Amino acid sequence: MLHVVNLLPFVLAALMLMIRKKLRFHMGWIVLPLPAALFLYFLTKIPAIQSGDKLVDSVSWMPSLGIDITLVLDGLSLIFVLLITGIGALVVLYSIYYLQKQSEGIRQFYIYLLMFMGAMLGVVLSDNLMVLYGFWELTSISSFLLIAFWHRRERSRYGAMKSMLITVFGGLAMFAGFNLLYVMTGTYSIREIVAQAGTLTDNAMFIPAMLLILLGAFTKSAQFPFHIWLPDAMEAPTPVSAYLHSATMVKAGIYLVARLTPLFAGQSEWFWLVSLTGLFTLIYGSFQAIRQTDLKALLAYSTISQLGLIMSLLGLGSAAAFFAGTEEAIFYSMATTAALFHLINHAVFKGSLFMVVGIIDHETGTRDLRKLGGLMSLMPVTFSVAVIGAFSMAGMPPFSGFLSKEMFFTSVLNIRGFDILSSGFWMQVFPVIAWLASVLTFVYSMILVFKTFGGKLKQDKLDKTPHEAPLGLLLSPVILISLAVVFAIFPDLVSVPLIEPAVASIHTGLLAPGATFGVSIHFWHGWTPEIFMTLGVITVGVLLYKGYGRLRVLDREASGRNVLNRMYDGSVHLLEKGSRRLTDAYMTGSNRHYLLYIFSFMIIALLAVLMREPGISFGMEHYAPLSLYETVVVAIMLLAAFAVPFAKSRVNAILFTGAAGYMVTLLFVLFRAPDLALTQMIIETVSVILFLLCFRYLPKLKKPKEPLRFKLPNLVIALGVGITMTFIALAAMGSSPFEPISEFFLKESYHLAGGKNVVNVILVDFRGFDTLFEIMVLGIASLAIYGLIHLRMEADLPQPQ
């Protein structure tokens, strides 16, 4: 059943292709029932999951590689599939009113969105790492397509490219990490890998695998310093930003970290990396968010910051693994509960805030904070949604964000007692940074609400007269944001059925069988330190909001100076320019240069092998005695060859080459090769005649006016080749480990083939195929010569004289 569920979005996406482009009604209505139905389907699974069951569905795909499409629905996956389908349905509903029916590419929009939905369901349901990776990259690709939906805009293409490069970079690192896990465990199944968790920690590949997988998770979930793609992805249509870049895709990394926590938790590297990266992203994102003037950019940095919060909570929660089996494990696992609760809350309020921004953009024509103001009375419903969303984001009562913020504070305060890694001081840092980040979060949440809706209307800066959005556009954010209120008042609605089984699937093996985590979130805990921290956040936050215009650090105009973005742009530019320069430097277009590379490589490679190889001997014992006659012939041949480079005229050069060739003929005679001598003489004669026939048409051989720096490298390389070949010849003659097979030819030539001239018998009988193709070579060469001389494109080439 899970397979069908996972496949349905893809099937519908394929069917969308067959729908007529122009419909009488909006295409989104066709899409809407699917996520809604899937949401209801997953809701019915809650009781089974709550009682500790898992839905497992497996189809064999590539059994020889250990890759099967195994889908598992457990507590952790359930939260994610509900988010994906639920918010998916609301986003589709919102997009129906947001995107014009006639606007171009609306069909593609829904096809990409359905592809994304299916891929995301696949990511959170897959039990097989390779299948998970496949779906993971599919989310990257569909996200790329959606960001560049308005592909005629330069910024959209830039943002899509950037997010693609960064997330695929991380995805590939993750792929490598997955394969390391496979090498260690012999399986791609997450459940089977987790079952071997304790036995892997000493493996040399364990830490590299962890780092590579974290790289994938951090890039996808926009953790520092890989967060830079997210603000640029805001060029996507707002429903996409709401769905992909706040509620679902950016949580894929969170999901991966949570999913692999049973494997890696208990490693101090994991604890520090996850929690400190998250914490730094939290404070950095919230600081940057204050400085933005674009509403979507503000929300993007806010998303980065909140993702950091969830990530750091997952890191803190992994501390529980150090105390497996004791009461303290439950104590530290509180952080995981907080992470999951905030995950849900964040999806709820961030989704609705994006939709609110979309409405403002839709109704006023701008998202610029400097142009907005005074919309409170004009857009009361939108304002209410924005207030609830922003206050929930800031962690104010009575909204659900308050509860998760309190739990966050509890977790960072608890972690102070975690001294197993003997780093007492650093543990104190957690609450301080967490508190500071909360203050900043409070400030940008207030900016979001009061700079947009408060103050005076600046009608002269707006293109449209703002008014309240139509009902359809308001429906989704209102539904979403009411959840923030409901979850705040009745937190057990989510904590008992959803979070408890999810915590159980993250912290496997911490509980005695049959026990539950007893997750219960209360609205009011009494006068705890967390309450005083929240009061402090409000006080300092209000002061900061009042005075932030005077603080230079928070200067909005200065927010354009983003070092990380410039570093990214610079490195992309540098890579491109560097490769071009490198290629230009060695691909000169000059034949001679390429020949120089080839010959130098040949010399270096061959000489290096000759030097390193100890077995090569230069034995001289088998050499034939030197005789005067042959020596003289060799000397004449060499003299003739020497004369060629120095020849002053063409005829001389040709004749010297011919002379060298005739000396070779003589050598063949002396070395008892009559057939060779015959052939060589004929061919040398024909060649010389050919050369002499042609040379009249060739230019005068100019005395080469090549400068010394041209000649010298040529000479060095040429000498190198000559010396190398001499050494190779000597080395090859010195050692002959095998008997030659020529005895066979000499013995059997007459018996088997009936010929006494062994060379000819070899050519036409024993190795006749060589001859066949040699004839073909000659045939092809003559055809080509004929073609060269007789065929030409009339227009291209000048006529021969």
Q: Nearer Cβ to other proteins, position 429 or 759?
A: 759
Q: Is 165 in the site for other proteins (CB under 8 A)?
A: no
CB of 658: closest distance to other proteins in angstroms? 9
> Site residues for other proteins, window 771-790 (CB under 8 A)?
771, 774, 777-778, 780-782, 784-785, 788-789
> Who's near 7: CB < 8 A, 6+ residues apart?
118
The answer to whether 115 and 10 are in contact (CB under 8 A) is yes
Structure token pair of residue 404: 């998760």
Q: Is 712 in the site for other proteins (CB under 8 A)?
A: no
Q: Is 722 in the site for other proteins (CB under 8 A)?
A: yes
| One-letter amino acid for residue 679 of the chain | T
CB of 669: closest distance to other proteins in angstroms? 9
> Whole-angstrom Cα distance, residue 254 to residue 340?
10
CB of 612: closest distance to other proteins in angstroms? 21
- Kindly report whether the peptide bond that precedes residue 208 is cis, defined as omega within 30 degrees of 0: no
> Whole-angstrom Cα distance, residue 546 to residue 454?
14
> Who's near 271: CB < 8 A, 6+ residues apart?
265, 315, 316, 318, 319, 421
> Who's near 755: CB < 8 A, 6+ residues apart?
749, 761, 765
Q: Is 741 in the site for other proteins (CB under 8 A)?
A: yes
Q: Is 623 in the site for other proteins (CB under 8 A)?
A: yes
The window from 96-104, 308-316, 512-520, 693-701 that contacts other proteins (CB under 8 A) reads 693-701
CB of 441: closest distance to other proteins in angstroms? 56
Q: How far is CA 415 from CA 319, 437, 628, 673, in A?
A: 8, 17, 96, 91
Q: Nearer Cβ to other proteins, position 390 or 762?
A: 762
Q: Which of 325, 611, 675, 752 is the binder for other proteins (CB under 8 A)?
A: 675
Q: Which of 134, 479, 630, 651 is the binder for other proteins (CB under 8 A)?
A: 630
Q: How far is CA 447 from CA 347, 355, 482, 520, in A?
A: 20, 17, 22, 33
The window from 125-133, 264-272, 443-451, 766-774 that contacts other proteins (CB under 8 A) reads 766-774
CB of 265: closest distance to other proteins in angstroms? 59
> Whole-angstrom Cα distance, residue 237 to residue 658?
77
Q: Which of 686, 712, 735, 752 is the binder for other proteins (CB under 8 A)?
A: 686
- Kindly report whether the peptide bond that precedes residue 398 is cis, defined as omega within 30 degrees of 0: yes
> Site residues for other proteins, window 130-149 (CB under 8 A)?
none
The answer to whether 378 and 452 are in contact (CB under 8 A) is no
CB of 574: closest distance to other proteins in angstroms? 23
The answer to whether 541 and 446 are in contact (CB under 8 A) is yes
Q: Is 749 in the site for other proteins (CB under 8 A)?
A: yes
Q: Which of 582, 604, 742, 752 is the binder for other proteins (CB under 8 A)?
A: 742
Q: Is 408 in the site for other proteins (CB under 8 A)?
A: no
Q: Which of 596, 607, 610, 616 is the binder for other proteins (CB under 8 A)?
A: 596
> Site residues for other proteins, window 633-662 (CB under 8 A)?
634, 637-638, 641-642, 644-645, 650, 653-654, 657, 660-661
CB of 765: closest distance to other proteins in angstroms? 11
**3-state SS, one letter per residue, for 642-670:** HHHHHCCCHHHHHHHHHHHHHHHHHHHHH
> Whole-angstrom Cα distance, residue 575 to residue 589?
22
> Whole-angstrom Cα distance, residue 6 to residue 125?
8
Q: Is 791 in the site for other proteins (CB under 8 A)?
A: no
> Whole-angstrom Cα distance, residue 227 to residue 135?
21
CB of 222: closest distance to other proteins in angstroms? 43
Q: How many CA atoms lie within 13 A of 435 on its CB side?
A: 19
67-73 and 55-62 beta bridge pairing: antiparallel
The window from 135-143, 275-283, 451-459, 694-702 that contacts other proteins (CB under 8 A) reads 694-702
The window from 143-151, 256-264, 607-615, 688-696 that contacts other proteins (CB under 8 A) reads 688-696
Q: How far is CA 385 from CA 376, 396, 438, 458, in A?
A: 11, 15, 21, 22
Q: Is 695 in the site for other proteins (CB under 8 A)?
A: yes
**How many residues sit close enough to other proteins to count as binding (CB under 8 A)?**
97
CB of 161: closest distance to other proteins in angstroms? 27
Q: How many CA atoms lie within 13 A of 548 on its CB side?
A: 23
Bridge partners for 368 per DSSP: 294
CB of 610: closest distance to other proteins in angstroms? 14
Q: Is 518 in the site for other proteins (CB under 8 A)?
A: no
Structure token pair of residue 752: 């088997």
Closest CA to 732 of 578, 612, 616, 639: 616
> Site residues for other proteins, window 355-384 (CB under 8 A)?
none
CB of 708: closest distance to other proteins in angstroms? 14
The window from 210-218, 377-385, 469-477, 689-697 that contacts other proteins (CB under 8 A) reads 689-697
Q: Nearer Cβ to other proteins, position 179 or 771?
A: 771
Structure token pair of residue 32: 């809407």
In 365-417, which ranges are continuous DSSP H helix? 380-394, 400-414
The window from 8-16, 405-413, 510-518, 745-753 that contacts other proteins (CB under 8 A) reads 745-753
CB of 611: closest distance to other proteins in angstroms? 17
> Whole-angstrom Cα distance, residue 266 to residue 24?
58
Q: Is 768 in the site for other proteins (CB under 8 A)?
A: no
> Who's near 731: CB < 8 A, 6+ residues apart?
610, 616, 617, 618
Q: Nearer Cβ to other proteins, position 176 or 731?
A: 731
The window from 8-16, 366-374, 457-465, 761-769 that contacts other proteins (CB under 8 A) reads 761-769
Q: Is 748 in the site for other proteins (CB under 8 A)?
A: no
Q: Is 485 in the site for other proteins (CB under 8 A)?
A: no
CB of 645: closest distance to other proteins in angstroms? 6
CB of 614: closest distance to other proteins in angstroms? 21
Count of residues making up the chain: 801
> Site residues for other proteins, window 551-590 (CB under 8 A)?
589-590
CB of 607: closest distance to other proteins in angstroms? 13
Q: Is 17 in the site for other proteins (CB under 8 A)?
A: no
Q: Which of 625, 707, 737, 754 is the binder for other proteins (CB under 8 A)?
A: 625
CB of 736: closest distance to other proteins in angstroms? 9
Q: Which of 201, 465, 571, 757 is the binder for other proteins (CB under 8 A)?
A: 757
Q: Is 534 in the site for other proteins (CB under 8 A)?
A: no
> Whole-angstrom Cα distance, residue 630 to residue 669?
10
> Whole-angstrom Cα distance, residue 522 to residue 519?
10
